Structure 1
Amino acid sequence: MGLTRFGRPKGGKGQSSPNLYVANCGPAVGLSYDTIAAVFAAFGEIKGVYAADESGARVVVSFAEEGCAQNALNALGGRPCPELGGRSLHIRYSVIQPTSQGRANDSVPVSLLASDLNIPGLYLFHDFVTAKEEEELLAAVDERHWNNLSKRRVQHYGYEFCYETRNVDSRKNLGELPRFVSPILERISMLPNCKDDEAIVLDQLTVNEYPSGVGLSPHIDTHSAFEGLIFSLSLAGPCIMEFRRYLEGGLPPRPSSSSDFEVECSEKNSNFLRRAIYLPPRSMLLLSGEARYAWNHYIPHHKIDMVNDSVIRRGSRRVSFTLRKIRTSPCQCEFPEYCDSQRLNGMKFQDQ
């Protein structure tokens, strides 16, 4: 369900409205939209019940007439409601705010299968590791040192990723990948998408720990840094990953500096394609071809995700294992508009 934009009436607290903002009420606290609508319908015709934000615990109830909304507010506001699990509802008037022309939609349908997204080169393998293996992998990284970023913790193996340059120094090898990922590497080599692929000799691992509510801004892994196969194993908690392909100008504007591996994308630019997929724990995501080179991937900063009509709470942490092979020569992919190697070569040619 998309998030309709609501706000306070311009006249202040005293101005009424046919729309009510209702807190302590919603799917995250066990109350379906149908149940909420049935309770409020006792006061008049309901036009709809909408998510007020991404918490899952606040909704907007929209009546056909202001008088009905006023009666509901007077009857239910600040009082326990037996029909809604005895919860005390915090209610105020709300109005629909117009959406800016050209703004991207706030929501995108979430798929459970990679094939539904129609993005060439994108694959998702469910239950890639067992629950016991997941526990062992988490224990292995928790025994090692974490580096703190602004919102999450990371570990690097093989080669360290430099967040300032969004690249790696191939001359600084940190050693072989840890033994605890050997079963994962062996299993990857058996995937039908990876047999006989020279790039399967993965030599760089980044482990990310995301606290609840923390995600990633849209970005494409730097072409000049890594080869064409990128694997990401999700552990401990689920998330939604969104994919965006910008239709003009290739990459979104690059920030002047960054302390994180993120390329900020302007939300004012609505000229992009959007897809989204649900990544359950223990699943392996593979980015290759167009999915790797041309689509930004992005994890929304949510504590609760809506997957179809279900509310999915993110765990207290989500840990990802991202496995890649560093690139030692310029990228020659088929997507030059997104490729830093080919853009750099083009600028050098123009200067000659």
Structure 2
Amino acid sequence: MASQLALFEQDDAAGPQGLRYAPEFISSETERELIAHISELPLKPFQFGAFEGHRRVKSFGFRYDYSEQRLVEAEAIPEWLHAVARAVESFGDLPEGSVRQVLCTEYEVGVGIGWHRDKPHFDKVLGLSLGSSCKFRFRRRGGEKWERFTLQAEPRSLYLMDGEARRTWEHSIPGVEHRRYSITFRTMKRESGARC
């Protein structure tokens, strides 16, 4: 894993520019505590307009309302997420309080997420992988072909998407082999503010 991290930080050809990865970002004990908190949340199937996704989610700070096609305020980020949010901000060289939106997600066996980019209202995206690993796939069109890259996101690891990784590459997760949880931390674009 250390060599994988070194590749991301030293060799731009190893993956999308702006993608950083940290294995073992949190301890096993913290992972267990976070999974326990997520398991107690009133998770609901992801709503994509009229469609319902198989993964179950809970948003804090803000959530994207597909029917209104805008960000709306959600419950405040709970206290049990504050310490890990501060650690995530430190990893991303972000000022304290930069994380304004958090999404907790549960993936049952066989559930993944299709190709997409996060909404343009958000800026940097950081994801904490919990419970089991996943293949975090990236693609972007290069002429008539797709340029592709896959990151094996291990439990307790953190990724950061910024720059090209955030803006020009799409990402997806194929169906997971074991139940997985994730916590996604997002900063806001300046023009988004709190009234999106």
Matches within 5 A, 1:211-230: 211-223=108-120, 225-227=121-123, 229-230=124-125
Matches within 5 A, 1:120-269: 120-149=17-46, 150-164=53-67, 167-169=70-72, 173-191=73-91, 194-195=92-93, 197=94, 201-223=98-120, 225-227=121-123, 229-247=124-142
Code of the residue aligned with 1:219 in structure 2: it is H
Partner of 2:49: none
Looking at secondary structure, tell me which structure has more strand per residue: 2
Aligned to 2:85, the other structure's residue is in SS state: helix
Separation of aligned partners in 2, 1:165 and 1:147: 18
Code of the residue aligned with 2:182 in structure 1: it is S
Matched, 1:323 2:185: yes
Separation of aligned partners in 1, 2:141 and 2:153: 23
| Cα drift, residue 118 of structure 1 | 3.2
Structure 1 residues not aligned, in runs of 5+: 1-110, 249-269, 304-313, 331-352
Matches within 5 A, 1:24-173: 112-113=4-5, 115=8, 117-149=14-46, 150-164=53-67, 167-169=70-72, 173=73
Separation of aligned partners in 1, 2:101 and 2:182: 14
Q: Which whole-Å deviations, capped at 9, do the CAs of 1:138-189 have from their partners, x for residues lacking one?
A: 11121221112331110011112224566423xxx33431111112122123
Q: Which whole-Å deviations, capped at 9, do the CAs of 1:296-351 have from their partners, x for residues lacking one?
A: 011123x5xxxxxxxxxx32x11110011233527xxxxxxxxxxxxxxxxxxxxx
Separation of aligned partners in 2, 1:148 and 1:281: 23
Matches within 5 A, 1:285-296: 285-296=159-170
Separation of aligned partners in 1, 2:130 and 2:70: 25
Cα RMSD after superposing both structures: 2.3
| Cα drift, residue 272 of structure 1 | 1.5
Structure (1 or 2) with the larger CA radius of gyration: 1
Instruction: State the identity as a percent.
Output: 28
Separation of aligned partners in 1, 2:161 and 2:76: 23
Partner of 1:277: 151
Q: Closer, same or farther in 2 for the Cα pair 1:154/1:175, shift >3 Å?
A: closer
Structure 2 residues not aligned, in runs of 5+: 47-52
Does structure 2 conserve the Cα–Cα contact (< 8 Å) formed by 1:176 and 1:203? no
| Cα drift, residue 212 of structure 1 | 1.1
Code of the residue aligned with 2:78 in structure 1: it is P
Separation of aligned partners in 1, 2:75 and 2:58: 14
Does structure 2 conserve the Cα–Cα contact (< 8 Å) formed by 1:126 and 1:282? yes
The structure showing larger relative contact order (alpha-carbon pairs under 8 Å, at least 6 residues apart) is 2
Q: Closer, same or farther in 2 for the Cα pair 1:165/1:246, shift >3 Å?
A: farther
Q: Closer, same or farther in 2 for the Cα pair 1:199/1:245, shift >3 Å?
A: farther
Separation of aligned partners in 1, 2:68 and 2:141: 22
